[in-house]
Amino acid sequence: MRDAWRLLNGPTPHPPTFRIFDRRYGPDPVACDFVFVSDGLKDKVRRMAVDGDTQASDHQPVLLELG
C-alpha cells in the first residue's frame, strides 16, 4: 500500500486533520487521517486535499481524486 499524500507531495508533511477546532483531546493539531492506495492505483492518484474549514466533525474531511 502507498500513502497517496506522499505520492503527490513527496516529503512535505501531511496537513493536520484532527484537533483543528476541538482541542479537548490534546493541545496541537495532528495529521492522523490517511489514504492508502494499492500499487495498481498509485499511477491514478491526481489530487488530494484536506478541508480545513469545516467544523462538522473533530476530524477534517479528506478528498482523494483518481483519474
Instruction: Tell me the per-residue pLDDT of 18-31, one tens digit each, with 9 for 90 and over.
Output: 999 999 999 999 99
What does the block give as the cell for 44? 491514478
Domain boundaries, the chain: 2-66
Q: What is the mean pLDDT of the chain?
A: 97
* pLDDT of the residue at 7: 98
Q: How many CB atoms lie within 10 A of CB 50?
A: 18
* pLDDT tens readout for residues 58-67: 999 999 999 9
Instruction: For residues 38-53, give the mean pLDDT.
Output: 98
Q: What SS3 class is residue 7?
A: helix
- Nearest Cα to 33, choosing from 54, 10, 16? 16
